[in-house]
Structure 1
Amino acid sequence: MSSDQRRSYGPRHRWVVLSVGVGAQAAFSAMFSGIPVTGVAMRSGYHLSTEALGLVLACIGLGVAASDIVWGLLTDRFGDRRVLLTGLTSTGALLAVMAAAVTPQDGAGVALLGLCLAVAGALGGSVNGASGRAVMTWFGEGERGFAMSIRQTAIPVGGAVGVAVLPWLAGSYGFRAAYAVPAAFCLAAAAATWRWLHEPTPPATPAAPGTTPATSGTRSPLRRWDVWRLALAGALLTVPQFAVLSFTAIFLHDVKGEGAFLASLTVVIAQLGGGAARIWTGRRTDRTGGRRTHIRAIGALAGLAMAGAAVLTGAPTPLTVAALAVGGVLANAWHGVAYTEIAAMAGADRAGTALGLLGTTLFATGFVTPLLVPAVVAHASWATVWALAAAASFLAVPLAPGAARARRPTFRAR
């Protein structure tokens, strides 16, 4: 037994674990969000058509969607520390290889680039379930929503860093630097994981007869309809999020004749406001309960905001922008509460699998939505796009499990 395994970590260590989880999530988000924003430089540097560029960039989300459940199962089997170390180290190593050998100067083509980005997404997807399970394991029932919401806020924060840094690096120093920097982020997060992320001291109470520590007799969340309902509701609530974040700039340019500043301002409000709303809802539900009720309420409000954007498509620009900004904030507000609830529903021994399932549905929607929106615009209108986003939010409300069914296994307090 190693010295780390023998060492006992007290309750205060939970904040260190949360910091490690935030760092891991932010490191992956910087890559996931930053590389697509290098699209202009990538298209010219790799000599890609617009269609080929869209396919290449979609490969990142496809890789995450394809791997999240697998990583969740592995997390429940081997623990969050091992999975995070494996995922972050391999992602950093792959990005380093890309910096050395998969740049335009190396003659890399669309097939190799798309494959590398898909694998990077698949490897980096390990952080979603593993860091979430670590946070859920260390924090008690009265703090989990707040802690998980902070971890989820690392996604827009890390993404903002990537969006700010990677396009500048690609334009000024080339793709060797654009890949090397997120590689360094991932490897630094892996080092922090190795140093500070450890399992809590196991309780003295032995497992029930006929069970093992890996399963403890709990039913797989993949075989529970209530868990699937929450995951699918989350997928529907992701539609307005990706619609606003991905297409606000194009809509304002094509329909309103506005420049990049107003679009950036709208998206920043949606991102930062959504991050603040995640923390607020997490803290509130820790104090008052009712995570499922909050998810349904946010879905209804997001639907109303996006319906307002549909109605106001032809209205003066400030009104349309306000509706889109509010819809974006609400579409970003539910993540922490949903991740907390689905992990609590599954129980400590199956939390990684449940978090992986939710991540899979969300990233699958994130992959499909940007492919569908241009088709809807081509055959209908932007008002239809926002109306469909509203409809997805409204459909999520009855699909999400209700509070009356909140019977679940609980985590042990640490």
Structure 2
Amino acid sequence: MVSLTSPAEAERRPYGPRHRWVVLAVGVGAQGSFAAMFSGIPVTGITMRADYHLSTGALGLVLSCLGLGVAASDIVWGLLTDRYGDRRVLLTGLTATGALLALMAAAVTPGDGAGVVLLAICLAIAGALGGSVNGASGRAIMTWFAEGERGLAMSIRQTAIPAGGAVGVALLPWLAQASGFRAVYAVPAALCLAAAAATWRWLHEPAPAATATASATASATASTTATASAGATAGAKEAAPDATAGASPDIRQKSPLRRWDVWRLALAGGLLTVPQFAVLSFTAIFLHDVKGEGAALASVTVLIAQIGGGAARIWTGRRTDRGGDRRTYLRGIGALAGIVMAAAAVLTDAPTPLTVAALALGGLLANSWHGVAYTEIAAMSGPARAGTALGLLGTALFAVGFLTPLLIPVVIAHASWTAVWAIAAAACLLAIPLAPAAIRAR
């Protein structure tokens, strides 16, 4: 693992409780730099299919490899984060991701004669390396922030995914058409390396005094809010300092990988991810092949989903910090997303504005729950095990990110686009009973 500052030197530096907001900013930058690549490359699908001479099935395979790489590595990165710390893991992952993308810009473009196999392998490795940001930046937040602030902090970090994705969605398709794929890979490479530099400069473990002060501050905030709101009182009963909802120390020390309630939350999150990746990966192809529209409308549709989903993440994170039950919110978002994606299926052959509106709203809802889920699964496991729990959730999400682009061309070939959006709706509705039930106040 990369570490350019000795532990002794880091401990000599005064990092008080206010530094937690700097740590959050570093986590946002790390998550956003990876998201720009992860979300932006699929939206170049029309140009990629033409320039690399791919079939729709081959394009689905190539795009799915991004999710496969993250799914294969996320839980490993989580375990490494719990063992070696978030700083070392982030430095290693971001630097390696930036270097690989720079190599792709130099040698894995259509002009270099790169084919589907090389492209798929490179994107899988990029996903595997970039997946380091999911558990590591999340564990940093669990370390620096106490219960009462974690929902907001984690949701802000998770908002970096649609925000960074929006940058990639807006920029990379245009770069693909105007400058080619050298620029498409070079820009996210620069972003990842810049995030690595920020991590090296500002991300450190908190001093014990800083942790205690942050915990006291957050507890006071939570107490004040609980007095002002009956709903917050119920939420205070739900949340314990290590956010295990009153679980015994024996339960908190058990590995998240051995707890069915943690697995249920991870699997429910995977199902809720189906419409997100369906909209992200194939909106451009759908609008081009079925509606005769260009990449511009697809970019606008995905941008609405990304930016709106990011705003919703912050709202739900803040709301649940003030007393809302995270599990109830997760189930409610699943129900809404299922209904809207079912409407998109019904409106597949409707006028384009109606179809686009349904897809944008469905994508927005599918992007809105991540902060709540990541906070809840980390809270269930406690800060010492947060990296593993976050890695498990990331593995579930990105396993679906691998399978969804891979299966959609099969569904299109044997059924229709209506079936694609209907399957996305069904996945959301199946997630509702699978997600852990809300904890009852005692």
With the length of structure 1 as denominator, give the TM-score of the two structures. Answer: 0.88
Secondary structure in 1 aligned to 2:83?
Answer: helix
The residue identity in structure 2 corresponding to 1:223 is R
| Residue from 29, 53, 56 that aligns with 1:23 | 29
Indicate the residue corresponding to 1:183 in structure 2. 189
Bigger shift: residues 293-302 or 260-269: 260-269
Secondary structure in 2 aligned to 1:288?
Answer: coil
Q: Mind listing any 5+ residue stretches in structure 1 that lack a counterpart?
A: 206-214, 408-414
State whether structure 2 residue 400 is matched by structure 1 residue 335: no
State whether structure 2 residue 102 is matched by structure 1 residue 96: yes
- Give, in whole Å, the separation in 2 of the partners of 1:316 and 1:107: 40
Confirm or deny: 8 A CA contact 1:130 1:352 kept in the other structure: yes
Closer, same or farther: CA 91–256 of 1 in aligned 2, 3 Å: closer
Q: Mind listing any 5+ residue stretches in structure 2 that lack a counterpart?
A: 1-6, 213-249
Closer, same or farther: CA 182–310 of 1 in aligned 2, 3 Å: closer
How do 1:142-221 residues align onto structure 2 when only pairs under 5 Å count?
142-202=148-208, 218-221=253-256
Closer, same or farther: CA 253–227 of 1 in aligned 2, 3 Å: same
Indicate the residue corresponding to 1:387 in structure 2. 422
The residue identity in structure 2 corresponding to 1:298 is I
* 1:317 Cα offset (Å): 4.4
The residue identity in structure 1 corresponding to 2:259 is R
Confirm or deny: 8 A CA contact 1:64 1:125 kept in the other structure: yes
- Give, in whole Å, the separation in 2 of the partners of 1:391 and 1:349: 35
The residue identity in structure 1 corresponding to 2:103 is V
The residue identity in structure 2 corresponding to 1:88 is L
Secondary structure in 2 aligned to 1:403?
Answer: coil
State whether structure 2 residue 280 is matched by structure 1 residue 245: yes
Secondary structure in 2 aligned to 1:14?
Answer: helix
Closer, same or farther: CA 253–15 of 1 in aligned 2, 3 Å: same
- Give, in whole Å, the separation in 2 of the partners of 1:28 and 1:96: 14
- Give, in whole Å, the separation in 1 of the partners of 2:376 and 2:175: 39
The residue identity in structure 2 corresponding to 1:374 is P
Confirm or deny: 8 A CA contact 1:133 1:352 kept in the other structure: yes
| Residue from 336, 350, 368 that aligns with 2:385 | 350
How do 1:4-403 residues align onto structure 2 when only pairs under 5 Å count?
4-202=10-208, 218-256=253-291, 260-403=295-438
- Give, in whole Å, the separation in 2 of the partners of 1:255 and 1:46: 22
* 1:116 Cα offset (Å): 2.0
The residue identity in structure 1 corresponding to 2:276 is Q
Closer, same or farther: CA 89–374 of 1 in aligned 2, 3 Å: same
Q: Which runs of 4+ in 1 moved over 6 A?
A: none
Confirm or deny: 8 A CA contact 1:216 1:349 kept in the other structure: no
Bigger shift: residues 375-384 or 103-112: 103-112
The residue identity in structure 2 corresponding to 1:383 is T
With the length of structure 2 as denominator, give the TM-score of the two structures. Answer: 0.83
Identity between Structure 1 and Structure 2 (%): 80
Confirm or deny: 8 A CA contact 2:173 2:295 kept in the other structure: no
Give aligned pairs, total: 398
Closer, same or farther: CA 251–119 of 1 in aligned 2, 3 Å: closer
The residue identity in structure 1 corresponding to 2:33 is A
- Give, in whole Å, the separation in 2 of the partners of 1:113 and 1:65: 18
- Give, in whole Å, the separation in 1 of the partners of 2:41 and 2:280: 15
- Give, in whole Å, the separation in 2 of the partners of 1:402 and 1:377: 35
Secondary structure in 1 aligned to 2:205?
Answer: coil
- Give, in whole Å, the separation in 1 of the partners of 2:393 and 2:189: 26
The residue identity in structure 1 corresponding to 2:304 is I
* 1:279 Cα offset (Å): 0.7
Confirm or deny: 8 A CA contact 2:57 2:406 kept in the other structure: no
- Give, in whole Å, the separation in 2 of the partners of 1:144 and 1:373: 36
Closer, same or farther: CA 38–255 of 1 in aligned 2, 3 Å: closer
- Give, in whole Å, the separation in 1 of the partners of 2:186 and 2:160: 21
The residue identity in structure 2 corresponding to 1:365 is V
Confirm or deny: 8 A CA contact 2:301 2:360 kept in the other structure: yes
